[in-house]
Structures are given as structure tokens and as C-alpha cells.
Structure 1
Amino acid sequence: MKFIHSADWQLGKPYGRFEPEVRAGLTEARFEAIDTLGRAAAEQGVEHVVVAGDIFDTEGPEDRTIVQAISRMSRHGCRWWLLPGNHDFARNGGLWDRVHQRASENIVVLSTPEPVEMNPGIWLLPAPLEHRHNLEDPTARFDAMETPGATLRIGLAHGSIRDFGSQGETKNKIAPDRARRSNLDYLALGDWHGALRVDGRTWYAGTPEVDRFQRDDPGQALVVELSTGAEPSVTPIRTGRFQWLLRDWMVSDQAAFDAECALLFGAIDPPTTLLRLTLAGITSLGDRIGMLGRLENDIGHQLRYLDVRADDLVGRPREEDISNLAVEGMLGAAATMLNARIERGGEDAVVAKRALERLFVEYSREEPA
């Protein structure tokens, strides 16, 4: 048996903190991931794609979100097995009834905890969530599920095998040895947004399209091959379009900053990269202004999104900077006074540093070309 394991599509995610252009691209990429999975199924000779929960970001998505999802799944030859998760939990008269009304024959909604025979002798044991937070282990029912003539038993669930803190749900806890307890050949999990091996028979697929600054890896899915009595063969495949990168640069001058930029751009595709960059170090005031200017006027336009945090990048005016201001008389006197306050430290130093930087910026703008 060979199939694709996916999870955490979270279709309809709002991305409210981004500008409309960025938001539109990220939203569309989540739908495009469905087509990527469908094409991968055809290329791998796979008949089934199992999705371990959180197909939708909420249990009340817009009709357009549902129709887009169904339309994209329907045009591929594989069969889609959809499990309600904690974001899109199953309830009477809710989301999954709306999906049922529109779904094509190749889409199976697993809204009840009843085993289904996918192929002769190959059983899928689903653990749909009926509430956002469940106190009991949703996979405990696997022990009592009857699978007559089973040659392979595949569990499908959504929840936390371990405590992921703020990055994973603290409810919906799943026994770490569930595969052994319930005699499963494979346990396909969702909730954790990165591909993760728990043990030889238990995996998180991760999200097909990354949605936070957490890891360098783009979105993935897992191609799983099962044989009776053997440990599964699991191969990650890339599905994601965008990369969300976290970078911390310690820089002392413009040259060091430019070198970091060159390394970054040598390793990424800028239009599909979102970057949160933290800058730290002590440099000249002129270099600090030059670095931030390049980020704002060049790099920020090349990337899909750029978030810069430069509070720890200290710009100290050089004697040359002060002398350039000094020729202006009153500007020079103000610069000298502000620099003295910076040297003394204390609460006034932060304000003085900002004032001196602004003074230097305004002076630089007034310089003749």
C-alpha cells in the first residue's frame, strides 16, 4: 500500500497582519497546495491522500473556500480522505454537512469514528474531533475498532503526542505508543506544522504550506509505503511555495551587512521568501542608516515580505559625522550635545540616540548631490 499523508491545510486562513498583496498570495498558495498534492499522487502512482485534520482554518469558512477546495480535489484522480481536526471539528449541521452536499465521489469525509476499508484488507481507522478541545485521547477508540480480514491498519488522527507548548495544541493528547497499543501499521497525525517522526510507525506530515516564522523548511507531505510486518518507508516531498525565514545578523559595518545579503540571496528565491530579520551590533551611524535604507528601498521590494527588527543595531556617530554637522554651526552644537548625552547613558541616552540619528538623516538629505 502506498499513499500520501498530509495535514493542516487550514484553508481560509486570514493572514490579517499582512498587506493585501501579500495576503492574497499566501491565501492562493494554500489552494495551490491541493493541486501540488494531486499531481504528486499521479507521479507517485498513489490512489489515496489522507489528510489528518484542519483542512479548513475554522469550522465556519466562506462558501467560496469550500467550493475552491472541492473543485481542486475533484479534478485529480486520487481519492481524498478528510478528517475533521480541532480548527474544523465535526458537529451536526456544521461545516462537514456543507462539504457533503458539494463533494464529488473521490472525496470522503471521515466525520464519524468508524473504520473504512480503503482497499481490500486495508483499513483506515479515523479519530475525528467533535470539539475544538477534547479531554480524552481521540485515538483510544482504535483498540475496539474491528477490521475483519485486515492486512494493514492505518490510524488517522489530529492532536499532540507531546507537549509542543505554544506551538501546538495542549488538548487532544494522543498516547505516544498508540501505534503499538492499537496494532497499527502506521499512524498518520496532524496538528504539528512540520514533518516529524515520532517513531517508526508514527509521523506528523506537517502543513503543505508553511504559515509562520518557525523553520526554514518549506511545506511538505509524506509518501508512505506499507508492507505487512515491515516498518513503513516514509519519504518527505516538497509541496510548499513559500519559505518563511528567521535570520539574526551580527554586523559591524556596511561591508559585513552586504556580505550577509549576498549569502542570503544566493540561497533563496526572493519572490517566494518571507523574512523576519533581526540586526544587532555596533556600527557607525552612517552605516546603520545605509543598512536600513537598503533594506527599505531594495531588499524589501525583492522579497515577498520583510520584517526588520533593528533595536539592537547601535549606530554611533564618528568624528567625521560630527565634523560634517559641525560646519553647519547650530547643527554641530546640537550633535555635540546629543553625543555627550549618549556617552553619559541613562534614560536620556535612548532618546538622544534617536534624535542624533534623525539629525544626521536630515542633514544627509540636504547635502548637495
Structure 2
Amino acid sequence: MPRFLHTADWQMGRSFSRFDADDGAALAEARYAAIEALAQLAVDQDCDAVLVAGDVFDAQTVSDRTIRRVFNATSAFKGPWVMLPGNHDAALAESVWTRAGRLGAVPDNVHLALEPGVTVLAEQRLAILAAPLTQRHTYSDLTAAFDEWETPAGLLRIGLAHGSIQGVLPDEVDATNPIAPDRTQLAGLDYLALGDWHGTKQINERTWYSGTPEPERFRNNDAGYVLVVDLAEPGALPDVHRHDTARYRWYQWRETLSVPSDLDQLIARMQELPEASVLDLRLEGAITLEGHQHLNHGLSLAEARFRSVSCDRSGLQLEPTEEDIAALHADGYLGEAIEELRLRQGGDVSGPARDALAILASLLSSGTQEVTK
């Protein structure tokens, strides 16, 4: 029974410039590890082939070193690979693919589907109908050609394409590179392996997006997996299994803090996350001085555990309680300054006023602790 691994959207050479240099480098390196992991998975699962449905590279301008490292990362699986150009690495007249050829970087077992057509893997009983993108954006369905292409009898008809299934994905996603939702029926495909949507998604019983094997953005769409597909014979329904390949998991939380228990629950949730986490927080609402110190402590612990933590507090109002102020033992001028900062938080300078109040409270709290030791 033929079995193949379906993956896509590696985006190799992607830059993570929004992160600190160490974190960005680690996130980039994890993408090479993901290729190595899926290659080993193909070995462990006795796959007959690996199909890559576009966007192997993030851009045409990736370095020669990146090109060589990508193909080196596939070395564990010695069977056939079929790689399809996507919108990020379209098969232009001069492209990352032609450069890979000149470098001699493409192994003999890697088939580059740079032109529309059928790649026949007779030994594996697979006929791969490929619709490569030859420019970044198209407005016609390149998979329509599948309907007319003939394949050898007895081989599975597997479509390989990169684009947007019409009427299924969000409207802003399916504007270009369209693919008909019933292409498997129209073309008599046993399976349609898709790339472009970075999460694992089933369109129908024969059509799947595999998603990217290593998440690279804050979108909750089931990224970080590859698919292993079994097909007993032409016409049989595929048996699809999802396998986790992600090193890092990305979380984007938008939280409103109203009462102390909201903060307690937030910190408890952070503590439950795995160490290989990339966390992006945006906080709104109000917090006391004591809560502010509690939040700082929780974030400090998270920063030490996770790959990356960022926290936007621009929408978070600092509202000291009477107990907070009394605990600071701030009399005279300092007391007046704290009261002024409290009043100014509601104006246009709420951000600076909040920050100044937090800093002053922290300094006073530290000084009080020193005195009481």
C-alpha cells in the first residue's frame, strides 16, 4: 500500500528580525531541525515518497548557504522527494531553483516540479500531477489542467499545488492563486496535497493542507505538523495521520485584567505552557501596585523559561489602592508626586504617568525592604 508524507511552507531563509538576535537565530535554526525531523519520520513510517507543496524557500534571494543546508537536511530519507515552487519561491526564469541547480545542491532523489506536468514514480505506484507557480500571483486555477492529464493505469493520481481553495479560506486569503474546492472530483484525484495555508486543514476527504512543520507566526491555525497519507489503491479513500514536528509553539494572548483573580489566572496559564514557547501578550484593564509587582515577577520567570516573551502594557492602567500607597510610606513631596501621577493617568500622558508611578513605587518598595532587613 503506497504511503507518502505531505508537507509544505518551510519558508527557509525566513528572518525573525522582530525578536532578539539569539531568539531569532534559534527560531530560524528550528526550521532546519523540522526538515530533519520530517525526513526521519518518513524513514520511520516507511514512506514511499515525500511531497512538498510549495514555499520551500521564503524568498528568491536566500543565501547559497541556506540552499545547501535545506537539501542537506533532507538526507535521512533516501526515497524520492517532489518539491513544488510556491508563491515565495516561484519558478521564474531565474530563481532560487535555477541557482540551486547551478550550485549542484539538489540530490538525485529530489525531483523539482518546475513546470506543469506529471512526475511518475512507478516503483512507488504514484503519479504526481504538479501545478507549480511560475509567478508570485496568478488569477486562474492552475490545477484545472489536472482534469485533462492522463496518468499510467494502476498508479495513484496525486495532485500537488500551492494556493487558496476558493470559498473555504478567509476572503483576504483566497484572492490570488485560486484552486477549485472540487478539484479532486473533476480531475479524478486520489489525493490533493496543498500548500499556502500554514496550518493543517482538511478541505474534504481527499484534499488537505499540511501546514508548515515549524510555526513561524502568531496565528492559531494548527501549524507545526506534517501528514502521513496511506492509499490502498486508486479510488480508495486516503487514511491521513497528523504528526507533530514543531520545536516551538507560538501563543498570542489578549487579556483584560479587572480583578486580582484575572492576574492570578493569567500567571497560572503561563506556568502551564511548555518551555519551548513563544509568547506574545497584550494586556488591558487595570492593575494595582501589588498586582504590578506580581505581574513583573511572573513575566521574569516566564522570560527565563520560554524562548521569547513580549508584553504590551500600553492599555493597562495602574490603579494603586489605598493599601498600596500606605505600604509605600510615602509622605510629603513623594506622597504628592504619587497622587499627581495617579490623577494624570487618565489624560493623554497615561502611558508615561503609569510608567513613572510604577518605577517610583518599585524604588520605594525596594527601599522599604532594605530598611526592614
- TM (norm. structure 1) is 0.90
Deviation string 1:246-302 (CA, Å, 9 cap, x unpaired) is 224444566653443334333x321x110112334433223123313431x322121
Matching residue of 1:207:
212
Matching residue of 1:304:
307
Contact kept in structure 2, 1:115 and 1:125, CA below 8 Å? yes
Contact kept in structure 2, 1:209 and 1:240, CA below 8 Å? yes
Runs of 4+ off more than 6 Å: none
Q: Give 5+ residue unaligned stretches, structure 2.
A: none
Of 183-192 and 87-96, deviating more is 87-96
Contact kept in structure 2, 1:48 and 1:80, CA below 8 Å? yes
Of 255-264 and 285-294, deviating more is 255-264
Select the residue among 113, 117, 122 that pairs with 2:120: 117
Question: 2:302 is aligned with what amino acid?
Answer: I
Q: 1:327 to 1:131 in 2, by over 3 A?
A: closer
Shift of 1:76: 2.3
For 2:152 and 2:330, locate their aligned partners in 1 and report how far apart those are by CA, in whole Å: 91
Contact kept in structure 1, 2:270 and 2:302, CA below 8 Å? no
Matching residue of 2:19:
18
For 1:216 and 1:147, locate their aligned partners in 2 and report how far apart those are by CA, in whole Å: 34
> In the alignment, does 2:226 pair up with 1:221?
yes
Alignment of 1:183-262 (within 5 A): 183-215=188-220, 217=222, 219-226=224-231, 227-252=233-258, 256-262=262-268
Shift of 1:25: 1.0
- TM (norm. structure 2) is 0.89
For 1:341 and 1:302, locate their aligned partners in 2 and report how far apart those are by CA, in whole Å: 36
Q: Which SS does the other structure have where 2:193 is aligned?
A: strand
Shift of 1:356: 3.2
Contact kept in structure 2, 1:8 and 1:207, CA below 8 Å? yes
Matching residue of 1:7:
8
Of 326-335 and 183-192, deviating more is 326-335
Alignment of 1:340-355 (within 5 A): 340-341=343-344, 345-347=346-348, 352-355=353-356
Question: 2:216 is aligned with what amino acid?
Answer: D
Select the residue among 87, 105, 109 that pairs with 1:106: 109
Alignment of 1:36-75 (within 5 A): 36-75=37-76
Contact kept in structure 1, 2:314 and 2:351, CA below 8 Å? no
The share of aligned pairs that are identical, in percent, is 38
> In the alignment, does 2:185 pair up with 1:180?
yes
Alignment of 1:146-157 (within 5 A): 146-157=150-161
For 1:147 and 1:179, locate their aligned partners in 2 and report how far apart those are by CA, in whole Å: 14
For 1:165 and 1:63, locate their aligned partners in 2 and report how far apart those are by CA, in whole Å: 35
Number of matched residues? 364
Contact kept in structure 2, 1:4 and 1:49, CA below 8 Å? yes
Q: 1:5 to 1:167 in 2, by over 3 A?
A: farther
Of 105-114 and 278-287, deviating more is 278-287
Q: Which SS does the other structure have where 1:37 is aligned?
A: helix
For 2:17 and 2:349, locate their aligned partners in 1 and report how far apart those are by CA, in whole Å: 36
Shift of 1:169: 5.9
